[in-house]
Structure 1
């Protein structure tokens, strides 16, 4: 890859190999010198959690501030971003001035992420959190603002170690530390380690009791399982499954991993799980996973590992328990749903209101207007399927 060269003022810390170089670039040049959309796999959960209404509101407010500063001349703070450089970049110095030689692929923006998103959205450049696609009306309406912002100088602070190099783990920790110390990004995970959440003991119990490592394991690095990965599921999906099976669709949709999920009555999901609900959940999942025990890779294809499928199944468990069905009948429901064909060509999806054939008429796809509608539609379909195949009364 092409090496990039930047000059600026270098700051040293006595006795430390970590250094920083401060330089300035026009906003329009940012994506040429920094990998603005790069997200570590270990940070995907955090970025997903950062896609919330509070942060979107802040981005919109920053955009309004920039608009007033550039078009009206209001006073504002200088644009500033902090970037970590993974590996060992090359540094040459003359006094306090330095030249940094590095690869764009080694950069990760640690702060200020919301300012970065606001700038990129105005410029119409792809941003790491929220969509930056400009409509034709926006292009006409904000052309002057975009031109002015494009030439606005952004102060960049590159943090690096040209002697020992920074590992991915160090850069990740720096990202978390920076965002704990700077209050711009709204994310409750920064108040605790990224592996702690109130229902984690129950997620760990499911993982252990069901021997999920045998099926590919549970990812702690992202919300969803990617097709290229061997994981069975993720901690996030298991968390949502637990909440759905205990509290139903509405609480499942709104809850976050950092929450100690509570009903309107004040009763906690964790206490209900401890009182025995976890046994019903384990029984269902153990039965549902039976077809995967054979190691047939085709059983992993299609929709089976989809987060929405898992969450919909948890709502079936919830309904069966609300109905007062025994654990034996819940096991039978798990067995029936486990044998269901989850491939995208399965003809039974014709009977599901939130599935439809694609434009080629070959594969089924989500036809719902929203994720909520899709998930609830799947839950209804699965529940009716169980009623037709299992004596649950």
Structure 2
């Protein structure tokens, strides 16, 4: 990949290797110099939390502000972004001026993310958090404004360490520090990676009681598990598991980690768990994990780590408890489904309505028309397998 070059005003602190360079880019050029849609590793869950009504309203308000500033000459603050360069760029200095050579893929926008979203949405460029597709009427209606914005210059501050580079922990810390100091993204209770959320105590309880650390642990920062990861699952997946087990598929689909999750009746999932429901979930997961105790290689096979698999399993717990299953029944059902072959080549997937072979006829994959249909189809299949061997 070819490298990019930018020149600007260089600033540094005495005795520090971290520097900053301020430059200006036309709004239309941002996507050419920055990885504008990049979600930094282990920050997925926080970006998911940022997809809320408060931030959407902020973006709409920012769009209106910029529009008034450009079309009506209203007074406004300069458009600005703060960007971290993870890898060490090549830096050439001339007095207080600097030139950096860097790779676009190493950039991550940490500051004024909502400004970035507002700019990209207005220009019809793919944006993080919210859709940026423009309708034909919007294209015609805002044509002049978009042309003006495209040429408008955005002040971009690049933060980097040309000697040592910046570690992942430093980048994540800077992300939270910036948004804490500048009141940027509205992340409800997620103002730092260490803060809690309503169902956190029950996720911690599951982690401890089931010794999930012994199976690879639980990620507190990622939303899903990647093939290269070492942990078993994530807090986000366990949150969805708890909600699905207690409240079923509809509530599970719309539930947000940062809020108290309630049924349509107003009853809180938290209260149901506190009343003893957690023991059914623990019983099921204890059975499901049992086959992994003596064969840790199974942990990372096929679909076993998939968030959709975990959520579907939680819906099995929900149906079993509704049907009057006992703690013993839940453990047995978990064991049956834990011993299932989750390999993508496993022939039993033929019996699952939402699974089918890929174009090469070798591996099974999701054939459902939506994530919801896939998850519910898996749950029905798992329930059939579990109940065929469990007397409830």
TMscore range, shorter length: 0.7 to 0.9
Tell me, yes or no, if structure 1 residue 113 matches structure 2 residue 116: no
Contact 2:49 2:258 in 1 (8 A): no
In structure 2, the CA distance between the partners of 1:142 and 1:298, relative to structure 1 (3 Å rule), is: farther
Give unpaired runs (5+ residues) of structure 2. Answer: none
- Give 1:18 deviation, angstroms: 5.9
- Give 1:223 deviation, angstroms: 0.9
Tell me, yes or no, if structure 1 residue 304 matches structure 2 residue 304: yes
Contact 2:193 2:221 in 1 (8 A): no
Contact 2:215 2:296 in 1 (8 A): no
3-state secondary structure, aligned to 1:157: strand
Aligned to 1:344: 344
Aligned to 1:92: 93
TM-score (norm 1): 0.82
Show the 5 A alignment for 1:61-72: 62-63=62-63, 72=71
* C-alpha distance in structure 1 between counterparts of 2:299 and 2:193, whole Å: 35
Contact 2:358 2:364 in 1 (8 A): yes
* C-alpha distance in structure 2 between counterparts of 1:391 and 1:324, whole Å: 11
Tell me, yes or no, if structure 1 residue 214 matches structure 2 residue 214: yes
In structure 2, the CA distance between the partners of 1:366 and 1:145, relative to structure 1 (3 Å rule), is: farther
Contact 2:190 2:196 in 1 (8 A): no
- Give 1:225 deviation, angstroms: 0.8
In structure 2, the CA distance between the partners of 1:126 and 1:375, relative to structure 1 (3 Å rule), is: same
Aligned to 2:223: 223
Contact 1:46 1:189 in 2 (8 A): no
Aligned to 1:27: 27
Aligned to 2:315: 315
Q: Deviations over 1:143-172 (max 9, x none)?
A: 766554433211112345668865432332
* C-alpha distance in structure 1 between counterparts of 2:351 and 2:57, whole Å: 40
In structure 2, the CA distance between the partners of 1:11 and 1:209, relative to structure 1 (3 Å rule), is: same
Q: Deviations over 1:240-281 (max 9, x none)?
A: 112222232233222222223344555543343344322221
* C-alpha distance in structure 1 between counterparts of 2:278 and 2:39, whole Å: 34
Aligned to 1:330: 330
- Give 1:59 deviation, angstroms: 4.1
* C-alpha distance in structure 1 between counterparts of 2:268 and 2:19, whole Å: 47
Contact 1:356 1:365 in 2 (8 A): yes
In structure 2, the CA distance between the partners of 1:111 and 1:378, relative to structure 1 (3 Å rule), is: same
* C-alpha distance in structure 2 between counterparts of 1:69 and 1:150, whole Å: 14
Q: How many residues align?
A: 389
3-state secondary structure, aligned to 1:341: coil
Q: Deviations over 1:294-346 (max 9, x none)?
A: 43636633322211111111121122222222111111111222222333344
Aligned to 1:205: 205
Aligned to 1:182: 182
* C-alpha distance in structure 1 between counterparts of 2:67 and 2:353, whole Å: 45
TM-score (norm 2): 0.82
* C-alpha distance in structure 1 between counterparts of 2:160 and 2:369, whole Å: 46
Aligned to 1:103: 102
Tell me, yes or no, if structure 1 residue 251 matches structure 2 residue 251: yes
* C-alpha distance in structure 1 between counterparts of 2:162 and 2:244, whole Å: 49
Aligned to 2:384: 384
In structure 2, the CA distance between the partners of 1:249 and 1:7, relative to structure 1 (3 Å rule), is: same
Aligned to 2:79: 79
* C-alpha distance in structure 2 between counterparts of 1:41 and 1:230, whole Å: 14
Give unpaired runs (5+ residues) of structure 1. Answer: none
3-state secondary structure, aligned to 1:110: strand
Aligned to 1:48: 48
* C-alpha distance in structure 2 between counterparts of 1:160 and 1:359, whole Å: 45
Root-mean-square deviation (CA, aligned residues, Å) is 3.5
3-state secondary structure, aligned to 2:43: helix
Aligned to 1:236: 236
- Give 1:60 deviation, angstroms: 5.3
* C-alpha distance in structure 1 between counterparts of 2:115 and 2:363, whole Å: 41
* C-alpha distance in structure 1 between counterparts of 2:20 and 2:2, whole Å: 22
* C-alpha distance in structure 1 between counterparts of 2:294 and 2:320, whole Å: 28
Mean alpha-carbon deviation: is it higher for 303-312 or for 369-378? 369-378
In structure 2, the CA distance between the partners of 1:62 and 1:345, relative to structure 1 (3 Å rule), is: farther
